């Protein structure tokens, strides 16, 4: 597929070829090519297949989509559009669709009871189940135990035997291992054929531990525990950066929606499918450890009726790494969406948004520009389609891309000191100002004043003071970071609006939910700053939760029930958490105090830490005069440099900048800044309600006038 200047016209109108694999329905046919457009429905594709393959028209057929990151066969509804779903596939899947069993469309026959006919699948499952039962009863020999699928079953449990067991299982591509009710996953960094319909059916309504460990088993147990106990469930995913947490989240969410819909792709599942690439584009970036690292944490809650049918979903984000927007470490990149936009925009969009090449932007040219194997133009198209699936109209998408361009141009503004005044500064490339002014739709004079001066109100008068050089750069970067953060919040809010089900708002509707927490992994880089401090503190709290529920509470329950057991010692990290967060002397509270003092410095902050906690065994201070401190976390020691701790802790736009953006003629920008998005949504609903009342009254008056006129 070639990219042309037609841009979105090609995206909308081009004809695509779908390869449909009929399997046993049409013997001798590997796949059947079917021409289709973006809006061609699954029902229309099936009609074409019936005529092409001369199939029995009295039978009912459905299309199924198989994806690598889920493995399940997602049955398309008759009104679903296969081309739209295909465009969300990765580029490699589109270019090489004959290799492997991933990313393809299948033709399936539907039974009279509504279930899907899988041919030999049922017999395969029956033989597997019968063999397992015969082994349990002793009629067949037990398989030779070379490894243990539950580490609790190890005869001698220590670090060496634990690691050897995990290594042996991994060599046989067994990436899942239990520790009681906990699932350990080792990232294979490749696709394994363990996510197909056989496994979906096999783990349906099975007790945890009865079958080989699998992430489907965790999802299934959570789903049925929710229905049986009528209690909400939560699945916590934790691990280091690059360990595969986001991929595991995808497996869980897709399987949870599949359990509800019995294989049919619901509206919620489709929106979640589109939300994934959108959040990934705006919230993921290349880091030194991972080419697609999530730089924010998220909690996805799937809501169900008491019957187990999906009602809706909700996404909450945590700690977006805003500093990445203005600065990236060696061999790292900015957020994906900037590179997608610059590579995939049409000529018309390039002119409208004043787009350049990545190396011409200060926020993008600090390190590398590309990642091996990526196709940025395809990724931009995939993002466009995903945004459309979530509900972003073409006008809204243009406003988002225009704002992204404004942020990039804002980063190109450079400052210089005026020669005749020591404290005064000027912008040394004023030609950038009109571009930023046009994209933000604010007055150029007001933009200039906000970037070089600050207004201070004293008793009875207003003072206009010039920024120093370093202050001006900080204000510029703070404006860019706040704009991007507000945009990300707005995107998450719109996704939640699309996922919202009207029944969620009904008071009498009893809902249940399963939450999946995909939080940052524990990080320890060569240079660790405020972001790593927050991320590692979040992981410290997760570890504490784990300790409380797995060790402390369980052993207390054993004690109350009078069970004899050997007391299990574990590392209690409560002291580390208190060091960071306990009032009034926790590091975070001391940081808040120091951030409020105008004369504070990095050294005064470090001195305050040292004065309060020099005797604490969980914190260390370098012997040399280094502006850093080391915390003894549950996962090991991490050294943090205090540079920019105070600035990042109080990172917000000055009132001058907020007033400037609120004055924008663009309602999208002015409404996004400084306003609670929930309040905006509620006001929009209230306004629509009153408009509807007025419209009904006016219609009633006209109706009465027509009646009286006729009389």
Q: Please spell the DSSP secondary structure of 629-649, one letter per residue.
A: EEEEETTEEEEEE-TTHHHHH
DSSP alpha helix (H) spans, 444-552 = 444-452, 469-499, 530-547
Query: Can you say which residues are annotated as belonging to the binding site?
Result: 239-246
Helix (H, G, I), strand (E, B) or coil at 353: helix
Q: Is 242 a catalytic residue?
A: yes
Give which of 88, 274, 118 is closest to 198, Cα–Cα.
Answer: 118
Handedness of CA 89, 93, 97, 98 (dihedral sign): negative
* Selected catalytic residue, list 521, 529, 573, 594: 521
What beta strand segments (E) does 69-153 contain?
A: 73-75, 104-110, 116-117
Calpha distance 369→649 (Å, rounded): 29
Contact call for residues 335 and 358 (beta carbons, < 8 A) = no
Per-residue b or e along 611-641, where b marks 16 or more CB atoms closer than 10 Å to that residue's CB: ebbeebebbbeeeeeeebbebbbbbeebbbb
The partner residues of 464 in beta bridges, in order of sequence, read 455
Q: Is 456 a catalytic residue?
A: no
Residue 380 φ/ψ, nearest 5 degrees:
-70, -40
C-alpha 450: how far from its chain's center? 34
* Selected catalytic residue, list 6, 23, 209, 242: 242
What beta strand segments (E) does 509-618 contain?
A: 511-518
Query: Can you say which residues are annotated as belonging to the binding site for ATP?
Result: 239-246
* Selected catalytic residue, list 293, 402, 437, 573: 293
Residue 81 φ/ψ, nearest 5 degrees:
-110, 110
Q: Is 246 a catalytic residue?
A: yes
Rg of the chain (C-alpha set): 29
Q: Which residues contact 625 (CB under 8 A, 6 or more apart)?
A: none
* Selected catalytic residue, list 280, 523, 531, 594: 523
Q: How many CA atoms lie within 13 A of 108 on its CB side?
A: 26
Upstream peptide bond of 177 is cis (omega within 30 degrees of 0): no
Q: Is 521 a catalytic residue?
A: yes
Contact call for residues 469 and 281 (beta carbons, < 8 A) = no
Helix (H, G, I), strand (E, B) or coil at 348: helix
DSSP conformational letter for 510: -
Calpha distance 336→376 (Å, rounded): 9
Q: Is 478 a catalytic residue?
A: no
Q: Is 283 a catalytic residue?
A: no
* Selected catalytic residue, list 249, 294, 346, 437: 294
Calpha distance 190→307 (Å, rounded): 36
The partner residues of 643 in beta bridges, in order of sequence, read none
* Selected catalytic residue, list 177, 246, 249, 402: 246
Contact call for residues 40 and 78 (beta carbons, < 8 A) = no
Residue 115 φ/ψ, nearest 5 degrees:
-75, 165
* Selected catalytic residue, list 290, 334, 412, 496: 290
| C-beta neighbour count of 445 within 10 angstroms | 10
Q: Which residues contact 514 (CB under 8 A, 6 or more apart)?
A: 222, 223, 226, 232, 233, 234, 235, 256, 301, 302, 304
* Axis crossing angle, helix 587-595 with helix 602-613, rounded to the nearest 10: 150
Give which of 638, 634, 632, 636 is closest to 547, Cα–Cα.
Answer: 634
DSSP alpha helix (H) spans, 108-158 = 121-137
Q: Which residues contact 131 (CB under 8 A, 6 or more apart)?
A: 140
The residues that are catalytic are 241-242, 246, 290, 293-294, 521, 523
């Amino acid at each position: 597929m070639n990219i042309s200047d037609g841009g979105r016209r090609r995206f909308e109108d081009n004809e695509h070829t779908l390869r449909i694999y009929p399997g046993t329905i049409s013997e001798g046919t590997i796949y059947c090519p079917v021409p289709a457009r973006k809006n061609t429905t699954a029902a229309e594709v099936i009609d074409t297949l019936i005529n092409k393959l001369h199939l029995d028209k009295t039978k009912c057929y459905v299309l199924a989509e198989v994806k690598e990151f889920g493995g399940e066969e997602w049955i398309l509804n008759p009104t679903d559009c296969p081309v739209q779903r295909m465009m969300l596939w990765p580029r490699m899947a589109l270019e090489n669709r004959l290799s492997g069993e991933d990313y393809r469309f299948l033709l399936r026959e539907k039974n009279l009871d509504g279930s899907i006919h899988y041919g030999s699948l049922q017999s395969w499952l029956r033989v597997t189940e019968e063999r397992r039962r015969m082994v349990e009863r002793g009629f067949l020999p037990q398989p030779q135990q070379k490894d243990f699928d539950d580490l609790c079953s190890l005869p001698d449990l220590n670090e060496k035997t634990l690691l050897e067991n995990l290594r042996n299982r991994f060599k046989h591509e067994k990436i899942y291992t239990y520790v009681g009710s906990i699932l350990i996953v080792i990232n294979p960094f490749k696709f394994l054929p363990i996510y197909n319909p056989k496994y979906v059916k096999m783990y349906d309504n099975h007790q945890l531990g009865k079958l080989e460990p699998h992430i489907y088993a965790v999802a299934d147990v959570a789903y049925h525990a929710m229905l049986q106990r009528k209690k909400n469930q939560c699945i916590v995913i934790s691990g280091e950066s690059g360990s595969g947490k986001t991929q595991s989240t995808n497996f869980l969410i897709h399987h949870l929606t599949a359990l509800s819909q019995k294989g049919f792709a619901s509206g919620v599942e489709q929106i979640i499918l589109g939300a994934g690439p959108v959040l990934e584009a705006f919230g993921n970036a290349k880091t030194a450890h991972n080419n697609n690292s999530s730089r924010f944490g998220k909690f996805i809650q799937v809501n169900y009726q008491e019957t187990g049918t999906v009602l809706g979903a909700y996404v909450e984000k945590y700690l977006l790494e805003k500093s990445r927007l203005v600065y990236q470490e060696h061999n790292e990149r900015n957020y994906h969406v900037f590179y997608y936009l610059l590579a995939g925009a049409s000529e018309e969009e390039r002119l409208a948004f004043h787009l350049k090449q990545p190396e011409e932007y200060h926020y993008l040219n600090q390190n590398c520009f590309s990642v091996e194997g990526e196709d940025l133009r395809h990724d931009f198209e995939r993002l466009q389609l995903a945004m459309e699936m979530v509900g972003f109209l073409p006008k809204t998408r243009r406003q988002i891309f225009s704002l992204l361009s404004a942020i990039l141009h804002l980063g190109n503004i450079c400052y210089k000191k005026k020669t005749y005044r020591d404290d005064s500064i000027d912008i040394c490339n004023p030609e950038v100002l009109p571009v930023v002014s046009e994209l933000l739709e604010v007055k150029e004079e007001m933009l200039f004043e906000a970037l070089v001066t600050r207004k201070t109100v004293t008793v009875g008068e207003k003072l206009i003071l010039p920024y120093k050089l370093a202050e001006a750069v900080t204000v510029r970067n703070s404006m860019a970071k706040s704009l991007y953060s507000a945009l990300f919040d707005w995107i998450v809010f719109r996704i939640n609006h699309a996922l919202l089900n009207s029944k969620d708002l009904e008071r009498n509707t009893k809902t249940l939910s399963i939450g999946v927490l995909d939080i940052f992994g524990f990080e320890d880089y060569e240079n660790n700053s405020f972001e790593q401090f927050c991320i590692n503190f979040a992981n410290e709290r997760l570890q504490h939760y784990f300790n409380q529920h797995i060790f402390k509470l369980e052993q207390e329950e054993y004690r109350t029930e009078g069970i004899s057991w050997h007391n299990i010692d574990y590392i209690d990290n409560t002291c580390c958490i208190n060091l960071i967060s306990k009032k009034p002397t926790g590091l975070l509270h001391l940081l808040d105090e120091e951030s409020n003092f105008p004369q504070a410095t990095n050294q005064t902050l470090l001195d305050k830490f040292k004065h309060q906690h020099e005797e604490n065994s969980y914190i260390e201070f370098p012997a040399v005069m280094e502006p850093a401190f080391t915390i003894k976390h549950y996962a090991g020691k991490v050294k943090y440099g205090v540079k920019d701790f105070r600035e990042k802790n109080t990172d917000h736009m000055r009132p001058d900048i907020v007033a400037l953006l609120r004055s924008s003629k663009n309602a999208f920008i002015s409404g996004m800044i400084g306003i609670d998005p929930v309040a905006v949504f509620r006001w929009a609903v209230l306004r629509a309600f009153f408009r509807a009342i007025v419209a009904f009254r006016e219609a009633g008056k006209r109706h009465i006038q027509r009646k009286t006129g006729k009389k």
